[in-house]
Amino acid sequence: MLTLVAATGCSQDSPDEKPAKGIVLDLGGEIAVLEEFDSKPEIVGYRPEGTETLDTYRLTSPSQLQSGDIVGIRDGGAVAISPAEPGKATLLAQATAWFPSVDAAKVWTVTEQARAIACPGDEVPTTVRARYTITEHETSGRPARRVLPLPCGVQPVAQTTGGIVAQQTTHDEAVSGTATRARTSVVILDKSGAVGSIVAKNSTVVAALADRIIWRPDDCAGGSCTKVYNTQTKKSQNAPACEAGDSVGTGLLAAGGRWYATTIRTGSGNRLGVLDLEKSTCRDLGIFSALEQTADVDQELGAMWSGSNLFLLDQRTGELVEHNAPTGRVERRRQPLTVTNGAQVWGALKA
């Protein structure tokens, strides 16, 4: 059950903001649209015959661009979907991952080659498994615009106003016996794909978009270790503090990079927080039972930003909540949705 306990810290940045319309969902094998938040789901993509236990529509890493297009990975390829016609998908390219371009209108797809083939003779840590190439695409499916092979040991994560953000494996560290783990630095690449600057050593990217990079030091032990790097000032500072506890897990940045949804770990259970990175505040949205087993908000909670609206879908119970970040408004669907196989919110017509 997705239990909303509290919502505090409302602002009046946009007091006339209303609930989103035309909400697109994958119910776990069927694509549906909610004309209004509490409307009966209209099925626009039916479950294919013989797939009762499968979800052939499911997207990996789904996100809605500012243009309105919904993008994700399906069956090994990056696809773009218009919320006006969610039953149709345009294949952009074969890919293992993707991220939005900095203008939020195009996408970068990520492909990889095995180290043995792509890094012959390179002196790189043994934990490096592949070499990555990124390619820029328009969501219309037109031919690729830019192709950028990256050095071995550099894994792309996102594009910001400062450039492509990546994790560079710098060395291996012995853990126990013969086991090792990779040590990485958060870096920004130059236009050629080489490392141009280092954001933080011995650290990991949590999220990145627009002019912000959320990262954590690898050796963080207790307390809040989440950092926010601003690509304009080229400085890092602590993430906004939450009264209930520390931000943990993998969160989600909204388009524009101002709002960050994250799990807040407390002694009485995981809560959900929305950080305002401009005003350095934390809005506590309460306890969500879907976060009991994971601190990553895009897993069983099925979180998704559509513009400044955060959708929260309990993938077990079908309960749906919408939170508007500028106003603090919270809308809870009266009737839970019928879901299976880990349902997803994809976005809305008015992103």
What is the structure's pLDDT at 9?
36
pLDDT, mean over the chain:
89
What is the structure's pLDDT at 164?
98
The angle formed by the CA atoms of residues 338, 265 and 282, to the nearest 5 degrees, is: 90
Sheet hosting strand 77-81, strand order edge to edge = 60-64, 70-74, 77-81, 90-94
What is the structure's pLDDT at 175?
80
What is the structure's pLDDT at 53?
84
Residues paired with residue 275 on neighbouring β-strands, in sequence order = 260, 282
What is the structure's pLDDT at 140?
92
pLDDT tens, position by position, 62-79: 999 988 999 999 999 999
Name the strand (E) or helix (H) holding 115.
Answer: helix 115-118
What is the structure's pLDDT at 11?
37
How many whole angstroms from its chain centre is CA 220? 22
| Dist CA 225 CA 188 (whole Å) | 21
Burial class (CB in 10 A: 0-12, 13-18, 19+), 336: middle
Q: For residue 8, is pLDDT > 70? A: no
Helix, strand, coil percentages, rounded to 5, for the chain? 0, 50, 50
Name the pLDDT band for 221 (thresholds 50, 70, 90).
Answer: low
Name the strand (E) or helix (H) holding 169.
Answer: strand 163-176
Q: What is the dihedral of CA 252, 161, 64, 339, to 10 degrees?
A: -20
CA atoms within 13 A on the CB side of 66: 14
* Spatial CB neighbours of 40, under 8 Å, sequence gap ≥ 6: none
Greatest Cα pair distance, the chain, in angstroms, is: 61
What is the structure's pLDDT at 6?
38
What is the structure's pLDDT at 144?
83
Q: For residue 334, is pLDDT > 70? A: yes
pLDDT tens, position by position, 150-180: 999 999 999 999 999 999 999 988 887 778 8
* Spatial CB neighbours of 108, under 8 Å, sequence gap ≥ 6: 98, 99, 100, 101, 134, 135, 136, 137, 156, 159, 164
Closest to 1 (Cα-Cα) out of 285, 291, 249, 251:
291
Q: How many helices (H) and strands (E) does the chain have?
A: 1, 28
